[in-house]
Amino acid sequence: MEMELRDYTEEDFADIYALDQRCFPPGIAYSKRMLRYFLRMPQGRCILARDGDARASNGEARARDGALAGFIITEEGPPVGHILTLDVAEEYRRRGVGTQLLARSEEGLASRGVTEIVIETSVESAVGVAFWHGHGFLSVGVLPRYYLGKIDAYEMRKKIARA
Ligand SMILES: CC(C)(COP(=O)(O)OP(=O)(O)OC[C@H]1O[C@@H](n2cnc3c(N)ncnc32)[C@H](O)[C@@H]1OP(=O)(O)O)[C@@H](O)C(=O)NCCC(=O)NCCS
């Protein structure tokens, strides 16, 4: 599997939006308006992974780019970086795509002076919690009714080395 990691451009918007809708339930997935806002934040970054082996068969954009396997959006205000979302398409899960996106993102954040990364994740998402724990994030507290006014979130943090 040849995974290409690169920065987001406007042409990726439709694919990013569609993938986020598939990854999260209604009300938690971002609206187009929110997603556009996040992608235009001056301190925001989005890195995406496209599958170079899945070109050609899926129409013009993918013929050029490869199918979208995943993306990560962060916002930074050094020394703190915040991961807003990490989405990996179901058919690409458990193949290290999320790990690659997080690693690339951490490298960039560290190079710009970030020494601590924060993420919120639903207490009901065993997969999310396993993923973040596996990558060195520690739960530092619970944010009551963080999602949809009813589902709690863990606030998780991780220190990273200055680049
Ligand atoms: C969480 C998510 C991003 C993981 O992406 P991924 O590309 O499948 O993750 P990786 O393949 O890099 O997995 C790395 C490690 O995370 C843990 N992990 C990932 N998926 C897991 C699962 N379903 N069950 C248990 N542990 C899991 C494992 O420790 C895994 O290592 P291993 O495969 O060697 O056991 C993906 O499942 C996803 O997009 N889910 C829906 C959206 C979401 O919940 N995002 C996170 C909150 S913002």
CATH of the domain at 116: 3.40.630.30
Q: How many helices (H) and strands (E) does the chain have?
A: 5, 7
pLDDT in tens, 98-109: 999 999 999 999
Q: What is the pLDDT of residue 79?
A: 97
Question: Ligand 1: does its nearest atom lie under 6 Å from the Cβ of 72?
Answer: no
Q: What is the mean pLDDT of residues 22-49?
A: 96
Using the mean position of ligand 1's atoms as its centre, give its distance from the Cα of residue 135 in Å: 10
Question: Ligand 1: does its nearest atom lie under 6 Å from the Cβ of 1?
Answer: no
Residue 99 Cα: closest atom of ligand 1: 12
Question: Ligand 1: does its nearest atom lie under 6 Å from the Cβ of 81?
Answer: no
Q: Calculate ∠ Cα 144-78-43, nearest 5°.
A: 85
Using the mean position of ligand 1's atoms as its centre, give its distance from the Cα of residue 130 in Å: 7
Residue ranges making up the domain that contains 28: 3-159
Q: Residue 68's closest CA among 20, 137, 110?
A: 20
- Our count of domains for the chain comes to 1
Residues 163 and 161: their CA atoms lie apart, in Å, by 6
Judged against a pLDDT cut of 60, whether residue 58 lies above it is answered with no
pLDDT in tens, 77-121: 999 999 999 999 999 999 999 999 999 999 999 999 999 999 999
